[in-house]
Structure formats: structure tokens, C-alpha cells
Structure 1
């Protein structure tokens, strides 16, 4: 916007000369030479013209000079440059065993770039305590959804991505692990059964569980079956409340590989919960878990090995189990680790003999035994004539002591142990010949003949021992056993629950075929296999490898600004979010008092606190670290905060140079003294001190606002005087004779004091008694340096290896221009620090923060006549003066309508009348004078009755036409929801659109910037104003253009230059013809773009061009005054002439 006043005299030098020559010829005898040669008259006229032009220039500058003087009178000052700020990260020397410090004011420089001669110096703004503690883990826990996120890579910079500070993306893992080594390690194909005992088993049965086993590399999924009555089904049963157990079986379970879980090595099964746990979800308790196994080996297997006494038998051929000549106590051993190691197994031995005759006459009797760890325990006895002489009920020898083909069946005892037979350890079945025989040896027999003669005759051996062609074993094994281990895993923490889950009652014996009943289970043991964390609100966790020292600790948070559109879509919040910080201690979580400049993680900045002395390690997320956590305690976020890196040893630095102390001079006691600083421009925050002879407090002179006193004493302790801090003011108009005030011209570095009437005069008599201690210089756009460039440490800092800026330096701006001052000054005079109109709010928003580039205030717009009517407004256009008549055609009983005839020239209706069934019409004659005020007239209806809504028909007649109308007439007491013609409801609501200073294609304000501006405006406006801050609607503008280049040699460069030009031209803040950005609601026209593209070097002309902005069509009409454009992905093509 131009602020140049109109010229008082617009004539130029040539015009003055020409006019003077005309007047001279008119009023004198002078005439110029016909050949145009100069003469004395013409010379005098030109001298006069030059002098008059100079006077005109001074006269034309007078309004602006007076305007600037006026601005100076009202205290308007040119704002100084603004220094850029950057977070600097200091790196300690590798292996440094101790902490260090970086003093405030430490200088770090960025090297000069092209066309620069001097480096850019930054100074740290505060003292920084350097720590050796490193950030090792960053996690987010969201208990409401039972989820977590591991954000360590993002927070430490290994991944360049943002993450939500209080939103998690992974479901928490909930497992319990079951181990029963004696059953799960059985090598055979088997069915494993688990019985879950619980008084809440019906709830447990509804949990979606997944079962798996460890194969040595991965967890492999298993299919399980549930016992439903007498049937095993793949889906959980529907259990009733009075049922207290649930059985789960796994068929053909392979042997799990051994794995160490929570310090216990075993063959494990893992059971996982396939759903998140809601905080209100009841989690069932388990009283006990019992393991069982079922093996049905119906196919025959050979024994591991067999012995006859101490001789190993070859089972691949026929063999004699008791030898060819069995004798008393000869023994047949059958070894099988698979079968005879299973207590209580029902074993069947199938024997097929070789077909050779077996001597049954000897009445052989066998005893069948197994070793129980202490002795050989008898299973049963059998003989050639009796399959069971004695023994356990299940024992049966259908081979009748190996005299025929058949099966031997028995049940192994509950206690069985391996033993050594012939040097071989195995589980053995021992069969001994304890009575009778399978024949005898050859002998001599004495006989007597008829003559009583005695003869000795030989008797041949009668051995016919059993010979076995094949022997096979099969068995049926069912056993129940206590768990060897049960561990749970919830919230990254293991817990050993074994002892609580194996109390099956005093009568239970392991490896027995009978499971305990629910009545035998101890129901006092209650264990939750799945559990939630103790957090009840979303929480951010930071884990460090060592404790902090008891110093001021600084953590810097890179906060991702809201994405374009997020703020506009956000709902208004009643209560802002409150974040509570805590640290881990030996007694649990302890509140941590912090200084937070991030505004609850909504803007990048520093969080500072004192390192607690009782900071201790704690296990969270499976890692034992020193933890801080930020808990979202209450309130709401307008936009969910997103973080990037979290940095230690980082502090703010600004592009300034601090002069610690500069003597300005000595007061001579004269009024209006001025002094000049050695360097300029002076930034905000200076301190001017004047040495005065006595302590003002001793003589009753209390320092005014902003005054500080530093007493100076001699060696004897006597007061010599005091350095008193004087206060800066914009002018002396409000200063009294004793007010310690001064005026500072920051750009010129000039300090001016009062005259003794308006502002005190510094006391004289002391040498060098006026000083600036300290002040800062610097600022400007040159401080806006990219990341990783501010790296040159100018001040030696012990133990510091390097320094860098991981973010760009930003915010630097040049001093305010005179044109900007001339714009700002009158606005300040208008609003005077109070937000009354929408223009006031826009101006104050720009004052609230230097980060604000643009502001637009939008208030409800309505016509008091049109907008507050209950019923429709009907508009007519008159072509001539004449009569307007409104007549009701169908007016229900009980309805009274007030009809107003409105026209231009006045806000009140020209006529008004109440119409009813008895008085149905109104007429008004428009005069010629009234007609000349405007052609647009309107008729409004208002229902004055309280009857229910009903249909009304009426006719409006005027000189050149008529209008038939029909509408509903609602009651005056109708609610706003049922009244489609309700008037303004948004009165008092103001939307303030903020656009920040940024080079981004879509400059989006941070939440903290919006909050600062809102706080600034609310302090200066009526409390009745409903103020809502937001961002603009964004309309993407994409250009499709075909250009013709002058030369074909640089087509690619020309296309790129055209694209870059369009991007710069369409920037919302710095684009446009004048480089001042685009107005709200303004979009470019084709003529704008033709002119821009044809100025690109190398472009001959633009053959065709189109503008695509589809998002504009999606905006409703009432929002088309609040959008800003931004550059899209342009498509530039080239063609030949």
C-alpha cells in the first residue's frame, strides 16, 4: 500500500519553464528567437524554473515531513533489526568422564558465503550445563488403546521422520509362556492337553488367543482344539458361569526347541492375546493350569535293544529270549526309552514266535518286572498254562510264557527309572524264568526189566525253548503333570507365575492318568495372565543411560509444525492440554518441576529442570534406564503434537554480539545531552546506567519502574554512590523533572536525555558516569543460515569437541523500513492498543509477534433489515414509480402478518401494516423522487401470532409486474432449529486468520504462535468477543503452459527457470507482481501469468496457458474471501515456432 501523499504542485521543471515563457510573452514584449537560440530572457526563465522546481520539491515533501514529525510526536519508532535464532548442540570430547559447562555469551560463527566478507556470529543466550548422559530410548504408551510406539530411531536422528508424542501405533504384546519339560519334550507324536481352572473361566474362554511353539529360529503357529462336552472343536466353547475349567488340546505337537525365557531354559509354548485390552475390560483370573499328554502308539516299534542275561540279541533275526536251554532265573531284558520311561503307560507287547515247537511240559513260569528306582517292581506273573497268575489288574500274557503268538499287556507303575543292564542305561522290562522249564538236559535214566534187572539208559535232552521271530511294542500313554514353569509377559515385563498356578491339591501326584477335579484346586490363588500398564493417560518416555548431575539440565525438542489444513480442521478446545513431567526414583515416579518453553510440546524449544539427586534406574519397555516421562494429564490438544529429534547439550543462540560495558561519556549537567554508541544498530534489551553521588534509597528517592540500583562502596564500606539503571521511553512528553528517562535511537546508536523539565539530567561531577552495560548489536536476514553451518567455536570451552546446528537459523529480519513505519504509525493511533474493530484485531495481531506476516479478521456479516426477519424477503425491481400492492390470498385463521415495504434511501420501512383474514391487503405508492433513489425494493413478512406453522399464499403487484409467493409462517416462539429463517446466531464471533513469516509453500502457524496472538488480542478486546484463531484455507494453483523458446539449445534450463519463476510468483507471502504476496481471496489471472512467463530469460512467447485450481471449487461461497493460493506441481512444455 502506497503511503505517499499527493503532490501540492505537480509541475515539473519543463512545465514551469514552458508556462513561464507563455506568461512572459503574454505580459511583456519579450519573444524567443525564432531559430531557438538562447538569449538572456530564456536564460533567466530557466534559472527561475530551476529555482521554482526546487521550491516545489520542498513543498511537495512538506506533507510527508509533517507526517513523519507527527509520527515522531506520537512516539512511533523504527523497529531495529531482529536477530536470527538457532539451537546449537555441543558435543563433548569422546570418553570425557565429567560434565562441563558452556557459559552464556559463548560465540559460534558461520563462515561467510558468496559476496560476504565477514562471518556471522551467534551467541548462546544462557549458560548450558553439558552432560554425559545420552538418550537411549524413546517410547510412547497409549493405555486407552493398549498400544505403544518405539520412537528411539526418530528421536535420536537415525530416521528423519516426525512422530506423534502421545499416539502409539503398535499393539502391546501380551503373552504367557507354558513349560512342562517332562511332557513337551517327549519325542513322539503326541497330543498335549492343558486344563485351565478358574472361577471366571467363561470370560477367559472368550479371549482370542494364539498358540505357538519355538522351532529354534521362530515362533511357529499351532492349531488348538477346545473340549466342548465330549467333542474337540477348533472354536472356544460357550461356557456357563458355573463351569470352572476349560481344556485345550494340541495334536501332533513337535518337540519345541529349548529357549531361555526370563532366565529359565525350557521347551516353551507361547500363548498370545490377539486383541488390545480396553481399560474397562474385565480381565479374568486363573486359579491353576495343568498339563497333560496323550500318546496312542498303535503302530508297532522295535525295542531299542534286548539282552538274554548279558548277551545282546540280534533283533533282525530269530532269537531265543531265554537261550536255547533256559534255566532258572534266566532273564530276558527289553529296553525302550520311548515306552518304558512313561509312568502309568498302558503297554502292549506283540510277540510272534518262529514256529518251532515249545516245550510246555516243564510248566515254565515267568515274572515281569520294571525298575522303579529302588527295586524291580513286579507287574505280573504268567505261565505256560495261565496268562495271569498274579499281578496288576491290567496285566495279561496271551503268549502264555512265550509258548504261542500273542500280546502281553500291562500298565507301567507311577514310579519308573532307567537303570544299567550289561553296561547300557535304558528303561528296561525284565522277564525272568522263576519256575518250571522249557525242557531238561540229557541225562541217564535207571530202569528195571521184567526180570528185575536194572539198566542205565541215556535220556535225550528235551529243551524246546521259545524262539521269537519278531517282537513289537505299542502303548497308550495319558498323564497329567504340573507345569515346570509359567511366565507372563505384559508391558515388556516378565513375571514368574509358576508357584501360584501349580497348587492342584494335596492328593495330586504328577504323571498320573487322572487329573484333579475343580474341587481340589485352591481357588485362593488368583493370577491374571494378561494385565495393563499402570498408566491411565498417554505418556512419552525418555530413557537415559546414566543419571543427571544436580545441575540445570536442558533438553531441546524439535517439534514438527502443524501441516497445512490441520489447524483449520481442528475443533475449538475448552481446556488446553496439561502435560506433567516425572522421573524414576527408588520409590516410584516423582513429579519433576520444569520450565517449559515448548507450550506442552506444541512448539520447538527447551525444557529445563534441576537434575534430581534420587534419579534411579528402572525397567520400562524391557530396558533398565534412567527414565523421564511426560504424561498428558488433562485437557485437549487442538492439533496432536509431533516431535522429531530430542537433543541434550543444546541451547538457543542468537545472531548478536554483546558489548559487556561501554562508557558513553561524562555528564556536563546541560539539558538535552546526547551520546553515541561505538556500534549500531542496538537491539532490544540494553541497560543504560548513570553513576549518581548517593544511594537514592538513602534520600528517599525510590527508583521508578525499571530502575535498578548497584551501590558502590569504598574500602571502608562507605557509600560512594550508585550505578542507577535509567528507563528507556519513546519520548519525554510524559516525563517529569525527576524521572530517570532517556530516548534511544537504535539505528543511529544515539542516546538522548531530558532537559530537566521533561526528563531528569544526569548528575555532573563524575568522570565517565554514563555507560551501557550491556547492549547487543546484530540482526538481519544474513543470520538465517542453513543447518550444519554454524560450526566454528570462537570461544574455547573445556571438554567441548565440536558444535553444530541441526536446524536452520531462522527469524532474522532487517530493520523496519520507513514505508512500513508510515503504515504502522497511523494504525497504532487508531486502535491505541484496543481491539474494537476487525481492522484493530488485524493490526494488533501483527504487533503481537514478529513471526506474524499476515492477519485477516472475519466477523459475521448481515443486513439488520434482511437478516433478522422471521420469514422470507421478496425483492422486486421497479421500472417506474407507481403503486405496490401486497394481498394475502390464503391466510389461515389465527395468523397475523406484519408486512413491511422497504426501499432505498432509508433503513426504516416506507410503510408497514398488519394483515389478517379481515384485513388482507396493503398498498403503497412510490413517488418519482423515491424511485430516483433506487430501483430495488423489498417486501418482508413477520408472523405476529403464536399459532403453529402453516402455509401462506400472497400476491405482490407493482406497475410492471407481479409475484406470487408461498411460504410457511412459523410461530414467533419457534425454536431456532425448526425455523429455517432464523436470524444471525454468530454475533460476537470473530475468526482471526494468521499467516506466519515463512518461506514454506504453505506457511502454517504453530500452535504456540496462535496462542500468543490470541492472548495478546484477548487482553485488548471486549470479553464478550468469541475469538477463534485459525489458518487460511489453501487453494493449490497449478499452471499448465506451453512456451516457445528463443533457442532450442537450452530448453531444459528454460523449462526449469519458468517453473522456478512460477513457484516464486505464486508464493502467498512473497509472490505477486510487487513481491508482497497475494491478498486473501485473490487468485491469479491468465494475464498475470503470461506477463511473468514471457519475462523469463530465453522465452520468446507463451503459446498456451491454463490455470487449474480444483480446490477452489470445493470452497463454499461464504469462505471464498479467506483463502490464500500456493504453488502446485506445474507442467511446462516447450514447442517450436
Structure 2
């Protein structure tokens, strides 16, 4: 406030006036301020004392105004202590929770080296458990998501990594080693036959998908249908079923069923849709070409070998296989010979000469063999057992059962599954005149068919994050395997997993919330008791996740370990009984073992004596400023024992009696603090406190009671603290004033902020005048602002918007008070808004509060970033000009704009003027400004094109990029 100046004269003017008067009174002497002149010394002394008189005269208006403030009842607000959240971490070796009592003192050092002490505001038990995972589970949408705790995450809404799958795998490598078009028959055996029929129909519904693995991906089957309680899968392509990374060839079924599906056993069989060509053919050591070749060469001999390889067919152990050979006999005629004369007769008669006929040489005997891992054993065959003799006309089909003990063999450096034909007899092999009939193989094809489905060797399922598998399932008669299982019905819930039991009395969970999302229902915390989730008692300081704060859970017993969603740990569950919130509450962080702390220190109790009728008694406390104070007065001297007992019964919280040997020795009565003794009657037990000076003043008998006489009969219990020295950043407080056993680390998670000391006289004057106008009630918009400034010195900016809701939209009848404190931390401003709302709610129209039309909202912090392109006059000064532009922009935004009221800080024309006024700037080619702000945990950017685009914003300087063109 600008007070009138009664006398504007200063020291120089007074000296000049004294010198002028001296010339008129004593012309023979001049006032020249020389050091050896006694007259000059007297004149200088007079000028100095007269200047002090002028200063006192000019201070009269200010003193009168101060007295005016006292007359209207304005009270200077007391010191405000910084507050924040402290975290206590037990040692890793601790198994049980550690008690952290209320009033535990921690400290940090200020710039002068003094300790700034903080005290916890409530008792907790610090648990050694660690929060490992948080899951979002919603049975209605069949969603199971793991929350990423390193970034903001919503509660009761999707926003994490989806982990929900419903699938099961069946593996039988022999049956499922398939390369071409084929069919697979799946038989899912259950206790009751009609269940198998229903299951087959259920698993072939459109919502379920059957697939196989190929090329690193799962490909769907071309046809899926149910037939007689079995599932028929058809693959019409030539793609093969490939093994996974564990070497298993699997088929997979994906999809969710309305009920759990439990199998007693599973079996599969396969069959080709056509003939399967042999993979490789060998004539001994010689591979045959694709167009064909001789099975045993052109001159078959005993023990010659013909190999046929087919990994897809010969692995079908127990299946009935058919080998179809396309053979063509190749005849090698011998050279022609003349008549055969009988040279053994005495007379050679040419008429009896016989024409020589060649003998047919062919493979007359073969043995089919397979490899069993130790050697080649005979294969039992049917049909064309020796198609290589070429005696048979028509198809050459060999039928055999694939042996159970067949093993891969290495033939000609190629490992695979083989059968072979070994020559055991060659007809007419020793004839002198031979005609060779040699089989030429043009192709070999296989087919197979299982007599019954084969039990699967391995079965696995994945449901609701849990994976189960059974190896060597073929040897088990009853698997009792649940392959598909939906989530248990229930509301959407958040599951918290701990590495060990988090039991504590209470367990403190701190949630840092972003934005404000109101829940319609009630929050329910539950613990796993080994069988089900049971409710636990909780104290919620977040007001249903509306803002940041602590939630205290009273877990009296250890939480048993359990495996949920495939993760083993100790589990807590959080559900909401109401409808799903839109938008959902968003949490930025979650921490354990957190307790609120305030910057204060409990001082030793002080006792004072009182003389006989010591009216207006004043006592001085040793430490100031005073944060909280309780005054007890021993009134036993003026009371009888009966009166003291009656007072103790009527007001047990205000009267304490002390006895020694059944004799009443003290009667302590708690006196109340009031702002001014002028408001009290003569018999009221009241006092006033100057928190900055640490003085307590009692009444004089007319305004407030006089304390009775006695020795040490005034007991003062108080704590010191408050002021701006308690404001420190996160992590600055990390020491315990006294040893705290089994606690390894202490830190302040949030900034200790909000501390405000004594106001300056200018601040007192600016607020005091508003007190007379409002008189403690809010009617107009300015009244809300004035009341907030009077009651909360820690508020930096406040502005009332009439007819607007918290989102800034016009709404008739609504009042929104937007404010920000000296701390820019979101949780601090949220806590400040809650205090302001409670304060204004009792000082404005009750209809505003009852109908929900009063809102107190923190201002949106808008970080202003700019990109400037300028043209310079002198390029050699480009670096200095860039730095000067950045400095002026930071000064404009951080000092000039931020000092203005909420919503009126941005002036785009000032940005242009600021840049143009920089020396060496010839022209401003472009200037782009954008505001970065946080909305529900998401970083947002908005162009700043007009001044009033953000009515609830306060600005801070961001990044300024200056380009030279």
C-alpha cells in the first residue's frame, strides 16, 4: 500500500536548509562540513536527529493503518510448516514389519548448517515386502493386463500389457510329422460320452481357432469340423508342421469357452489326403534321380540294397502303411548265338542242332528291413512282397505296419527314417546265357492309416496367465487336465503382488494420482487367505482415489503365498463396487511404507511460576516460531477436591488430576487459544499466542481469566517449526535424528513444500484491507479470492471464475476457484485445494456446497516453448544475440508473465516485442510458441495462438530455440 509522505525532505535538503538559515543568523560563519569545525559538528548532529524525526513523522500513516487493521480484527497468519511424504525402508534381512512411531524425527541441513527437523504425523509399520507386479483383471471383457509401474497407469481400466490367452497344445511328434495335405483327427476323451460330443461341437465353433506351426508363425487349418465326437482338422496346403524351439510338433487351439474344459485324455491320428512321395531313393550308395532309376543297379546281386526314405510316413509308429511302387522291367537281351551242336557225339548231326535260349535273370527274393537303433531287422510285409521280380502285372503295393521301435538311420550321410529291400536271391545268376530283367523305379509313394488315435505325448495349456503342461502324458490314464478356463466372474479389479507377506498394522500404500476422477462406488481392499479373498479394514486418505495420498490397510495376519496368473507371491485385491469410472483414475506411482511428515520439532515442556493476581501475565518460550502449542494451568489453589473431581468428570479431555498417596496434588486444566483477548469474558480460560515471537499472554481478569498463583503451575507443551527453510526438493531428507533400528533407508518421496514464514508489511497491508470488505463471507467472485489470500499465505496465485466448471466450460451457477501454491508439485497443490475447499465451504452459500457447484481446482502448469527465426544486422554477433534472445524470453515468461493472475498471463504480442527489442535483430521471420502440459498423466502440446486459450493456466519458461536466417 502506498502511504502519503508527510515530509518529503531528505538529509541533503535538511543540510541545505540549515546552511541557508546559518547564513541569515550568523553571517560571519559558514556551514561547510569541515572536520575541525565544532559548529559544523553540531549542525551535522542536528541534521541527523531531525532526519529521524522526519522518518518517524512519515511512518505515522503506516502506524495508523496498522492500528486500523488491529481495530477491524485482522490477524496476521501464523507460520505454515512444510509438508511432504517420508518413506522408511527396512533392512533386507528383516522378516517382520518394523514399527515407525508417530513423531519420529528426520532431518536435513540447511544452507547455514543447521538441522531442519521433520516429524511423522502418524504411526505405521514398515514392511520388508516389495511390490513386484500389479495386474488389471476384468472377467467381463476377458482381460488380464500387467501394469507397467514405470509409467502412469489407469485403475479399473485397460492400459497395460495384455497377457490373457486361452489356448492349449497337443503334441505327438510321430503322428504330427506331416509335410503335405493331410487330415488330423483329435479325440478329447472325457468321463461321459455326451460330454465328448458337446466338447467337439464347442471347440469347432467359429470363435475358436485351430492352427499349426510353420515358418515361425501359427497358421490356421483350412478346414475344421466335428464328427462323431471327434475334431477333424484339414490341411490342404503343402506346408509342413514344424517343431517349435523345444523340438515338439504341436497343434494349437485358441479361444475362450463359457465354462472350464477338463480332459481325461487326448489322442490324435493323422492321414494324408493323397499319396506321399518318398523323400529319397537310394540304390546302394547311389541316389536315384527324380525321374527314376534302377533299384539295384543294372546287374543286381546278392545283398544289394534299395533304400526308401520318408520321415513323414515311417515315423507313424503303429500305423498301417502302404507303399506303392511304379516299376518298369528293363530287359537286357544277350548277344545272339548260333545253333547249339552236340559236340560230344561221334557224328555231329546238324539237323539235331538246338537254338540256344537265354536264361532270365531276375531278383527272385528280397527281404524288407528297417533300422531299430541297433541294427537292421526284418519288416513284416503283405501284398507285393517282391515287386522287383517283375513277374506281376498291375500295381505294386506293399503293406506293412510301421514298427514301434523304428529309429532314424544314416544312409549315405543323410539321416532319416528308412526302410530297405535287400536282395536275397537272384534267379539264374550263374547261367552262361543270361537275359537280365532289371526293375526300374519311376516313383514310390506312401500312404498310412491309424487303426486308432494315439495318446498325445505332451499336452499344455495357458489360461489367465497360468501355464500348465504334462509331459509323457501317453503313460497317464487320467490326466484331469483343464485346457480352457475362463476368468472367474466378478467386477474389474486390480491385483497387487508382493514378494513376501505385506502384513502390517497398518500397511501404508502411497498412490500418486494424476488428474481427478470421481468414483461412484466404494473401494474394497481384500487379502488372499489361502482359499479366497477376504475384506480388510482400510483407512483411505485419497478420498476414493480422487487425489494423491496414503491408504492404510490393517493386516493382522501374514498373507499366504499363492500362484495367480502364473506368478507366485502374496496377493491383495482392490475392487470398486460401483460402475466403471469414465475417465478412470490414473496413478503415476505406488510406494510402500510412506507416512506424511511436517516440518516441526517437539520441544521440551516448559513450566512457569505465577505470582499473586499477576494480571496480563506474559511468558516467553525458548524456541520460535511456534507450530503448535498446548497450555495447562494448575488451578488446585483455587479449587476444592470435589470441584476438581467434578471438572474432571465433566471434561475429561481438558482436565487432568495428579495424586500422590491418594492426595490430590495437581489439577491441570487446559486453556484455549483465541486470536484476541478482547473477545473473551473475565472468567474465560484463554490466552493469545504470538507464534513468531514465542510469547503467550494471559488475561487481566476483565478480558480473560488471570492464572492462579503457584510455583511451576503453568505447563506449556509446544513444537517449533514452520517457514520457508523447510521447503526442500525430493530426496533431500534422508537422515533420522535418533536411531531407528532395522531401518536401512529414509527419504522424502515428495518435495517438502508449502512452508511460509512471516509476511512482509506490504503483504499484510494488501491483505488487511480485504478483510474489512469480506468480513469472513464470500459473496462475489473477488470475495473468494480475498478469503483464500487471507487464510492461506502459501497460495501464490488464485482466481475465481463464476459460471464455469472445473474443465473451463460455461455452467450457470457454478463457481470454480483456481489456485496454485509456491510449490509446483501436483500433489502439494491438490492437498492445498482440499484445504481451501473446506475453508470456503463454511464461508459461502450452503447451496453451492450442497449442490456440488463449488469447485477448487489447481491451475494447469503450462510450460511455454518457443522457436524463433530472426534476421541479424551483424552476423559476427550471432552467438551473443542468440543468448540474449533466450535470456529475455526466460525473463519475460518466468518473471513478468508468471506474476500475473491465473488465466491472464499469456500475451503473445509481448513475445514479438521482446524479440524485436533485442539489439542486432533486424527482423523476426517467424515465432512459434507452444504450451506443454499434463492431462490425466499424458503429455500434451497445444499451440499458443491467442491470449485467452487457457483460462486456468499458469506459465513457466521452457525450451527456447533461436535460429539465425
Aligned with 1:720: secondary structure?
A: strand
Give the Cα separation in 2 of the matches to 1:1062 and 1:710: 63
The CA deviation string for residues 46-98 of structure 1, in whole angstroms up to 9 with x for no partner, is 99999998777656645543443343345433223322233333344453455
Matched, 1:294 2:271: yes
Structure possessing the higher relative contact order (Cα contacts under 8 Å, 6 or more residues apart): 2
Q: Superposed, which structure 2 residues align to 1:566-581 within 5 Å?
A: 576=520, 578-581=522-525
Q: Superposed, which structure 2 residues align to 1:161-200 within 5 Å?
A: 161-167=151-157, 168-181=159-172, 183-186=174-177, 189=180, 191-193=182-184, 198=198
Q: Superposed, which structure 2 residues align to 1:300-315 within 5 Å?
A: 300=278
Matched, 1:347 2:170: no
Find 1:772's aligned residue among 707, 716, 730: 716
- Which residue of 2 is the match for residue 78 of structure 1? 76
Aligned with 2:755: secondary structure?
A: coil
Matched, 1:135 2:89: no
CA contact (8 A) 1:179 1:268 kept: yes
- Which residue of 2 is the match for residue 750 of structure 1? 695
Question: Shift of residue 398 of structure 1?
Answer: 9.3
RMSD: 5.9
- Which residue of 2 is the match for residue 257 of structure 1? 243
CA contact (8 A) 1:370 1:430 kept: no
CA contact (8 A) 1:1043 1:1100 kept: no
Q: Superposed, which structure 2 residues align to 1:353-392 within 5 Å?
A: 355=331
Q: Quickly say closer, same or farther: Cα 1:91–1:625, change in 2 above 3 A.
A: same
Matched, 1:1020 2:843: yes
CA contact (8 A) 1:259 1:268 kept: no
CA contact (8 A) 2:204 2:224 kept: no
- Which residue of 2 is the match for residue 552 of structure 1? 506
Question: Shift of residue 547 of structure 1?
Answer: 0.8
- Which residue of 2 is the match for residue 488 of structure 1? 461
Q: Which stretch shows the higher mean deviation, 65-74 or 527-536?
A: 527-536
Find 1:68's aligned residue among 66, 69, 88: 66
Q: Quickly say closer, same or farther: Cα 1:439–1:428, change in 2 above 3 A.
A: closer
Q: Quickly say closer, same or farther: Cα 1:1079–1:429, change in 2 above 3 A.
A: closer
Unaligned runs of 5+ in 1: 25-29, 155-160, 229-238, 307-313, 325-330, 381-394, 443-459, 505-524, 862-984
Q: Quickly say closer, same or farther: Cα 1:368–1:137, change in 2 above 3 A.
A: closer
Aligned with 2:709: secondary structure?
A: coil
Matched, 1:994 2:821: no
Give the Cα separation in 1 of the matches to 2:708 and 2:102: 33
- Which residue of 1 is the match for residue 338 of structure 2? none
CA contact (8 A) 1:838 1:858 kept: yes
The CA deviation string for residues 248-279 of structure 1, in whole angstroms up to 9 with x for no partner, is 4374454543667xxxx953334445xxx8xx
Aligned with 1:701: secondary structure?
A: helix
Question: Shift of residue 743 of structure 1?
Answer: 0.7
Q: Superposed, which structure 2 residues align to 1:602-1001 within 5 Å?
A: 602-634=546-578, 640-666=584-610, 668-683=612-627, 685-693=628-636, 698-701=644-647, 708-714=654-660, 716-765=661-710, 767-773=711-717, 775-846=718-789, 852-860=795-803, 989-998=813-822, 1000=824
Question: Shift of residue 679 of structure 1?
Answer: 0.8
The CA deviation string for residues 698-731 of structure 1, in whole angstroms up to 9 with x for no partner, is 44336998953333221x3443223332211112
Find 2:497's aligned residue among 506, 525, 543: 543
Question: Shift of residue 670 of structure 1?
Answer: 1.4
Find 1:1065's aligned residue among 867, 886, 892: 892
The CA deviation string for residues 126-168 of structure 1, in whole angstroms up to 9 with x for no partner, is 34423221222233345565545433551xxxxxx43334442
- Which residue of 1 is the match for residue 37 of structure 2? none
Question: Shift of residue 680 of structure 1?
Answer: 0.4
Give the Cα separation in 2 of the matches to 1:852 and 1:200: 69
- Which residue of 1 is the match for residue 352 of structure 2? none
TM-score (norm 2): 0.73
Q: Quickly say closer, same or farther: Cα 1:744–1:195, change in 2 above 3 A.
A: same
Question: Shift of residue 469 of structure 1?
Answer: 6.7
Find 1:268's aligned residue among 250, 254, 260: 250
Q: Quickly say closer, same or farther: Cα 1:680–1:417, change in 2 above 3 A.
A: closer
Q: Quickly say closer, same or farther: Cα 1:1052–1:376, change in 2 above 3 A.
A: closer
Question: Shift of residue 678 of structure 1?
Answer: 0.4
Give the Cα separation in 1 of the matches to 2:695 and 2:754: 26
Give the Cα separation in 1 of the matches to 2:729 and 2:438: 97
Q: Superposed, which structure 2 residues align to 1:179-258 within 5 Å?
A: 179-181=170-172, 183-186=174-177, 189=180, 191-193=182-184, 198=198, 201=201, 205-207=205-207, 209=209, 211-213=211-213, 219-226=216-223, 247-249=233-235, 251-252=237-238, 254=240, 256-257=242-243
Question: Shift of residue 744 of structure 1?
Answer: 0.5
Matched, 1:476 2:431: no
- Which residue of 1 is the match for residue 193 of structure 2? none
Question: Shift of residue 626 of structure 1?
Answer: 0.6
CA contact (8 A) 1:857 1:990 kept: no
Give the Cα separation in 1 of the matches to 2:903 and 2:404: 92
Aligned with 1:1059: secondary structure?
A: helix
Question: Shift of residue 748 of structure 1?
Answer: 0.7
Q: Quickly say closer, same or farther: Cα 1:169–1:595, change in 2 above 3 A.
A: same
Give the Cα separation in 1 of the matches to 2:772 and 2:582: 35
Q: Quickly say closer, same or farther: Cα 1:1080–1:255, change in 2 above 3 A.
A: closer
TM-score (norm 1): 0.63
- Which residue of 2 is the match for residue 940 of structure 1? none
- Which residue of 1 is the match for residue 341 of structure 2? none
Give the Cα separation in 2 of the matches to 1:1018 and 1:1034: 25
Q: Quickly say closer, same or farther: Cα 1:117–1:1032, change in 2 above 3 A.
A: closer
Give the Cα separation in 1 of the matches to 2:903 and 2:137: 42
Q: Which stretch shows the higher mean deviation, 1012-1021 or 544-553?
A: 1012-1021
Give the Cα separation in 2 of the matches to 1:1092 and 1:817: 35
Q: Quickly say closer, same or farther: Cα 1:1056–1:814, change in 2 above 3 A.
A: farther
Aligned with 2:666: secondary structure?
A: strand
CA contact (8 A) 1:92 1:800 kept: yes
Give the Cα separation in 2 of the matches to 1:813 and 1:248: 78
CA contact (8 A) 2:723 2:756 kept: yes
- Which residue of 2 is the match for residue 531 of structure 1? 486
Aligned with 1:678: secondary structure?
A: coil
Q: Quickly say closer, same or farther: Cα 1:52–1:18, change in 2 above 3 A.
A: same
Aligned with 2:67: secondary structure?
A: helix
Q: Which stretch shows the higher mean deviation, 587-596 or 696-705?
A: 696-705
Aligned with 2:783: secondary structure?
A: helix
Give the Cα separation in 2 of the matches to 1:172 and 1:354: 65
CA contact (8 A) 2:507 2:553 kept: yes
Give the Cα separation in 2 of the matches to 1:406 and 1:1047: 99
The CA deviation string for residues 977-1012 of structure 1, in whole angstroms up to 9 with x for no partner, is xxxxxxxx9885133141211465x98985565455
**Equivalent residues, number:** 868
Q: Quickly say closer, same or farther: Cα 1:502–1:490, change in 2 above 3 A.
A: farther
